[in-house]
Amino acid sequence: MPRRLKFTISYDGTEYHGWQVQPGLATIQGTLEEVLSQIEGTRVDVVGSGRTDAGVHALAQVAAATLHNPIPTMNLRKAMNRLLPRDIRVLEVREAAADFHPRFQAVAKTYEYRIYREEICPPFERRYVHHHPYPLDERAFCEAASLYEGTHDFTAFAAADEKDSLGATKARTIFSSTARREGARLVYRVRGSGFLKHMVRNLVGGLLEAGKGNLTLQDLAALLRNPAARKLGYAVPACGLFLIGVEYE
């Protein structure tokens, strides 16, 4: 009997070319498929809740696959972690409904972006933060974050995507968008119905431009009101971005 399984996965994305399989390149999806195919004895396809970019990390990415192997879920988790590289860990394996799809059935995702503000970035932090020790109005950065809340067309904050030709809407709903200082880090957290390609990195780029005084709050608001007028074009590096979690009904 085929079994639909839901996986919760954590990974350090530094050494990977993103989530999606790419021929000849190390990816998170490709690595998971190799390990599950080895356990199953035949090819296994893995689908995820979304495609994280190269260098992006995840605390709790969600994926799914169909297996015939009757191995108990706890033993499967142990077997996968034994075979996976140490920068990818399976936190949980659960039985799921036969039609479970981690992307189409997700109702919300939360991302966090971490900016290191001190002059010297410790070497053990460098893979997981964007080091920005330069002058910045952090109050303006934090105040601007709430502008993104609500339902907007985020075309101005999205990179070109191969699916653009399909004409799909770029409207998304942001449930919460906040920023605050936490020790040496300036941390931005956003929870939304879904996100476009490079969208979170561009949202943070907009906040940085506001903090630098290059954009006003009115400028950012105008990008949401008239998204076709221009592209923001200030995507921050991927290393500071974490997928925190994915929510389902």
pLDDT at residue 170 tops 90: no
pLDDT at residue 162 tops 80: no
CB pairs under 8 A, 24+ apart, for 15-24?
15/87, 16/54, 16/55, 17/54, 18/51, 18/52, 18/53, 18/54, 18/55, 18/56, 19/48, 19/50, 19/51, 19/52, 19/61, 20/51
Alpha carbon 180 to its chain centroid, in Å, reads: 19
Determine which one of 53, 99, 137, 164 is catalytic. 53
Stretch (H or E) spanning 206: helix 199-212
pLDDT at residue 222 tops 80: yes
Enumerate domains of the chain plus CATH numbers.
3-96 (3.30.70.580), 107-248 (3.30.70.660)
Q: What is the CB neighbour count within 10 angstroms for residue 6?
A: 18
Strands 57-67 and 47-48 come out as: antiparallel
Confidence of residue 229 (pLDDT cuts 50, 70, 90): low
pLDDT at residue 116 tops 90: yes
Q: How far apart are the first and last CA of the chain?
A: 26
Contacts of 175 (CB under 8 A, 6+ apart): 108, 149, 191, 192, 193
Confidence of residue 33 (pLDDT cuts 50, 70, 90): very high
The predicted-structure confidence for 173-207, as pLDDT tens digits, reads as follows 999 999 999 999 999 999 999 999 999 999 999 99
The predicted-structure confidence for 77-102, as pLDDT tens digits, reads as follows 999 999 999 999 999 999 999 999 99
Active site residue 137: no
The predicted-structure confidence for 234-243, as pLDDT tens digits, reads as follows 889 999 999 9
pLDDT at residue 231 tops 80: no
What span, in angstroms and rounded, lies between the C-alpha atoms of 227 and 154?
7
Query: For the chain, what percent of residues have pLDDT higher than 70?
Result: 96
What span, in angstroms and rounded, lies between the C-alpha atoms of 31 and 93?
17
- In single-letter form, the type of residue at position 51 comes to R
Rounded mean pLDDT, 36-45: 97
Rounded mean pLDDT, 117-124: 97
* Closest by CA position to 225, among listed 124, 176, 152, 175: 152
